[in-house]
Structure formats: C-alpha cells, structure tokens
Amino acid sequence: MQLLQNILVGLDLHHGDRIASPDLEAASQAALDQAVELAKVSGARLTLCSVLELSEQAHQLIDVDHANLHRTVEDAAHIELNQHAERLRAEGLTVDVLVRIGKSWQELAQQAQSGRHDLVVVGTRKRGTAARMLFGSTSHKLLRSGPAPVWIAKPGEVRELREVLVASDFSDASLVALQAGVAAAGALNAKLFLVHALEFPFEAYMRTAGVSEQQVADYRKKMHAEAQHNLQQHLHQTDYRTVQPGVKIEVIEGQPDDVIPKFIDDNEIDLLVIATHGRSGFSGLLLGNTAERILPHAHCSLLVTRPPAT
C-alpha cells in the first residue's frame, strides 16, 4: 500500500515443547504470507519478530546461567527467523529479524511503537468453537493497546486480495478505515466495496403508534437516501479514483453482525477493513460490541485501523 514503509510481522516459533521450530504453524504462516504480499506491492521493509514466552522454569534457569542460556535461546530463534528472512531477501525484499522475550502482545506493541512500524501483521488460530475464535490472545490484546493498525490473517482465509470491503458507520474513525481501504485496493488492484448496515430504530415505535404503512415506507426510504449520501460524502474525501477496478457503495438492511458476514461470503471479500473509535479494544470497535460478533465469523483477512490523532 502507498503509505506502508515499515511492517512488523509477529511470528510464533513455538511448537510443542520446542522454543524455536523451523516449521511455522498455520497462523504464523498465514501472517507471513499476507505480509509478504503487502511488502511486494508497497516496497515496505519487513521485520520478522518472534517473541519467546518462556516458562517460569526456563526463566529460573536463565537467572542461574543468564549469559549462556539466554544466548542459546535467542540464537535458536534467530537461526529459524533468518532462514525465513534469507528466502525473502532472495525475492528482493528488505527484511530484518528480531527476537524478544516476554509476553507476545506486550513485546509486539512496544516494538511497533519504538520501531515506528506503520502496520502489525499477526495470525490467529481457532480456539474452541467459532464463537470463541477472537483472534487469539495476542491479536486480541494488540487491538486493545497496540499503537499501530493491526492486520489479522486467518489460516485458510489468506488468498490473493482482489475484493476489499470497508464497513462504515459514518464516523471520523470510519473515514480513517475508508482511507486505508482505498489505499489497499488501489495498491492491490482490487475492487472496493463501501458498506453501511442500516437499521431502522424507530420503525417498531411508528407501527405501535399507528403510523400508516406509507409513512413507514417513507421513513425507510429517507434513511436509505441519507445513508447513501453519507457514504458518498466520505468516499469523496479519499483518493477513490485510484481504485482502477472500481468502487461500489452498498446500503444493506439489518443488524451488522448478521448482514456483514453474509455480504463477505456473498461477494467473496478477501479483506475487511474496520475502525476502532478509541484505544480500549472491542468496546471501541466500529459498531460497538457488535464487532465482537462479526469478526470471528468474517471469512477473510481483517485490517483494524486506529482513530484519527487528536
């Protein structure tokens, strides 16, 4: 994407009882594949970062023989990361490697800030039932406190990005998401969909109050027209003309957690772009707590943007 210069990729090298394995698990491989595609179209530098979350016993051993064991643990991770980095360098990409020790989400957030990364890419694995697939603990916590936009890649859902969807609630935060979606679609030569899920909060009251069906229909028509107008207004504040495959605006009726996942499936969306309204995680996500129900069932990659600077 045009604005991407410095991408941080979180890779989990743990495998079973091994601290650093040469084989990436599906979630990390999905994150790496997605980050590579982004780097190729943007020319961005990649930093492959592995955070080693050590057991209490391992920490005790390191405290006893810090110089040797700490170096051994880090060296093993560096060797595995460098193997991935060398392959990507051979493809013409600029790649750094970094190993940190601590809690994954904390270390990635700190690195994103100190390294001035403009995007963090992580993978997520399914934990239990689909309703509990909340991106895994690392990506979930990065959404709460990460300083940069977060791109979440799901195993089995990483594919060539040709259809990008931005879900909007007309807020300033949604405008940031739309600008990111336009940049992504333009760089990737993808079609862009701009969607608002329209609900009719006063319809039930109107019917209870005995309002005529014509008045209800007029109310619904007015809400549709206002939503279309608001989407157009936001779109015209972006460089949407750079999206060669075109932009399509849709106002879809229903609760967002029902209609947005269905829209993604019906239109074979590859990337969903949403916004946070604050720095407080799911409670600040676009559409409020509804997002917590949407995102686990979105069969595509996810880009979560930050609110405009204040």
Find the mean pLDDT for residues 222-251. 95
Find the mean pLDDT for residues 134-163. 76
Is it the case that residue 62 has pLDDT exceeding 70?
no
Q: What percent of the chain has a predicted confidence (pLDDT) above 90?
A: 47
Do 177 and 118 have their domain in common? no
Number of independent structural domains in the chain: 2
Which residue among 105, 130, 153 closes a domain? Answer: 153
User: To which H or E segment does residue 81 belong?
Assistant: helix 66-89
CB 192 within 8 A of CB 243: yes
Strand spans (E) along the chain = 6-10, 45-52, 95-101, 119-123, 150-153, 163-167, 191-198, 247-253, 271-275, 301-305
Is it the case that residue 165 has pLDDT exceeding 90?
yes
Per-residue pLDDT, 142: 79
Do 15 and 143 have their domain in common? yes
Per-residue pLDDT, 130: 39
Per-residue pLDDT, 131: 37
pTM assigned to the model = 0.84
More confident residue, 51 or 128: 51
CB 97 within 8 A of CB 81: yes
Is it the case that residue 47 has pLDDT exceeding 80?
yes
Do 131 and 208 have their domain in common? no
Find the mean pLDDT for residues 216-227. 92
**Which region among 56-65, 134-143, 253-262 has the lowest average model confidence (pLDDT)?**
56-65
Find the mean pLDDT for residues 36-40. 92
User: Is 25 contained in some domain?
Assistant: yes
Hey, what are 110's tokens? 């700190």
Task: Say which residue the tokens 């879900």 belong to.
Answer: 167
Per-residue pLDDT, 277: 67
Which residue among 129, 153, 177 closes a domain? Answer: 153
User: Is 1 contained in some domain?
Assistant: no
Do 84 and 177 have their domain in common? no
Do 173 and 293 have their domain in common? yes
Q: Which of 90-94, 146-150, 289-293 has the highest mean pLDDT?
A: 90-94
What is the spatial distance between Cα 55 and Cα 108, in angstroms, rounded to a whole number?
19
Q: What's the CATH code of the domain at 43?
A: 3.40.50.620
What is the spatial distance between Cα 67 and Cα 248, in angstroms, rounded to a whole number?
58
Task: Say which residue the tokens 């079609």 belong to.
Answer: 191
Q: Mean pLDDT for the chain? A: 82
Do 277 and 301 have their domain in common? yes
Beta bridge partners of 250: 195
Do 50 and 174 have their domain in common? no
Do 113 and 169 have their domain in common? no
Which residue among 153, 173, 194 closes a domain? Answer: 153
Do 118 and 236 have their domain in common? no
User: Is 310 contained in some domain?
Assistant: no
Instruction: Tell me the residue type at 126.
Output: K
The half-sphere exposure of 186 on its side-chain side, counting CA atoms within 13 A, is 17
Place 5 in a pLDDT band, splitting at 50, 70 and 90: very high
pLDDT in tens, 253-275: 998 888 999 999 999 999 999 88
CA distances in angstroms from 216 to 65, 208, 255, 256, 259, listed in the order given: 75, 11, 19, 21, 22
What is the spatial distance between Cα 264 and Cα 300, in angstroms, rounded to a whole number?
8
Its domain, for residue 90, covers 6-153
CB 275 within 8 A of CB 176: yes
Do 260 and 202 have their domain in common? yes
Do 145 and 202 have their domain in common? no
Query: What is the separation of C-alpha 255 from the centre of its chain, rounded to a whole number of angstroms?
Result: 21
User: Is 124 contained in some domain?
Assistant: yes
3-state secondary structure at position 18 = strand
